[in-house]
Structure 1
Amino acid sequence: MPLEKSLKGVCKALREIKEEGLVKGFALIGGLSVSTWGYPRATNDVDLLVGLASIERLDAFSSALERRGFKTDIRSGGLADPVPYLIRTSRDDVPVDIIIATKNWEHEACEQAVTVSLDGADIPVAPVEYIIVMKLRAGSPRDLADVSELLKTSELRTGFLKGLAKRLRVDRKLEGMKKG
């Protein structure tokens, strides 16, 4: 499957770049992570959250990807933007979005990633609670549908989720989703 092959290839490159000291951690997010946490759903891209050793190393990180055969397009939206730094690339004709972690909680999601095995490759996946709050923050109909399903299907650390949602100011949205 091209999506899985692409994911494995990107994760291999990120592990190598991590060994070079440019990356502190990374985790699968987006539609594939939702599938990992028990709600299979279609997606046509790979979304990853990457914590750099330093945001000042963004260009070096992009160059490290390019040395491994990835053509990169850095998009900067500024720190007030929900996604201040995004690198768009592709692998095996599959779109890959690499969101650069800029907030403490995003770095936590990378550090606390749960490793799952995919055809013999270890893939770090953001904890389900972080996926839920990311999707609540994004707020699209697709994101909210994912949250609804994840709340039904995943084993959650309920207290942790409530605390994280409150910290990120999406606790009211979360409570509304639980009632609805």
Structure 2
Amino acid sequence: MKKLKPGAIDIESLFERFLQECKEREAEVIKEALYVIESYKGMLVGGWAIALYSKGIRKPTPQDIDFKVLSSQVKPLTEELKGHGFRLLRSNGWLIFEKDGQHVDIGLVESGWEKKALKSSLVFELSRLKVKLRVIAPEYLVVSKLFAGRGKDYLDVTFLIKSGSLNLEKAKELINKNMYLLDYLEEFKSLVLLAENLREDKIRLLF
């Protein structure tokens, strides 16, 4: 896993502003959740991953803490979250935890491509927040968003492309290697065209 320090994309400032905009207790619970999950073999996926790579185009929200772990990590992580006052609300493929209204969603790294994604995940060191975030690589993030297939997922992919954080050729290669995603290749190429030719506000209106 490659370690990245905040630089051009200034992710520390991004997340500090986000936490400042949250309610005080909400921010405390979010930081507590991040401190718990950082020591486990897993990776942030979903909205927070998009926020990290999109350079502020897509802002993080409290609802977006999605973390995928290996099956061997589920029991100890569950026990530690419960030890910190998080309660398990439901299990619907994801384990949905809650504390003081803040949710943390835990999923499993199961498929072959997810295991490869975990091996190539990136680590962001947020020194001022005193936390390290292991995050799915942007090209694998595209794959996960295409699998989800909702309008908001296509919007996230378009923002990711527009940010310049994505290696387009590597993303296409990953899509081509996955037989279940071959039908999405033309869709992905269309999203590339949107990102290259439209402003952010115009893109938002399309999804």
Structure 1 CA distance, aligned partners of 2:29 and 2:164?
A: 26
Mapped contact 2:45–2:66 kept (Cα < 8 A): yes
1:141 aligns with 2:151: yes
Going from structure 1 to structure 2, the CA distance change for 1:102 and 1:45 (only over 3 Å counts) comes to same
- Superposition map of 1:1-180 within 5 A: 1=19, 2=22, 5-16=28-39, 18=40, 25-37=41-53, 38=55, 39-41=57-59, 43-54=61-72, 58-59=74-75, 61-76=77-92, 85-118=93-126, 119-168=129-178, 169=181, 170-180=184-194
C-alpha root-mean-square deviation of aligned residues, in Å? 2.5
* Most deviating of 170-179 and 96-105: 170-179
Q: Shift of the alpha carbon at 1:59?
A: 4.8
Letter in 1 for 2:145: K
Q: Shift of the alpha carbon at 1:175?
A: 1.8
Which structure has the greater CA radius of gyration? 2
Going from structure 1 to structure 2, the CA distance change for 1:117 and 1:130 (only over 3 Å counts) comes to same
Structure 1 CA distance, aligned partners of 2:28 and 2:174?
A: 33
TM-score (norm 2): 0.66
Secondary structure of residue in 1 paired with 2:62? coil
Mapped contact 2:89–2:98 kept (Cα < 8 A): no
Q: Shift of the alpha carbon at 1:69?
A: 2.4
Aligned position for 1:81? none
Report percent identity of matched pairs: 21
Could you give the per-residue CA deviations for residues 6-33 of structure 1, whole angstroms, max 9, x where no partner exists? 44322322245x3xxxxxx211222222
Mapped contact 1:165–1:174 kept (Cα < 8 A): no
Large movers: runs of 4+ above 4 Å: 2-5, 57-61
Letter in 2 for 1:137: F
Going from structure 1 to structure 2, the CA distance change for 1:91 and 1:134 (only over 3 Å counts) comes to same
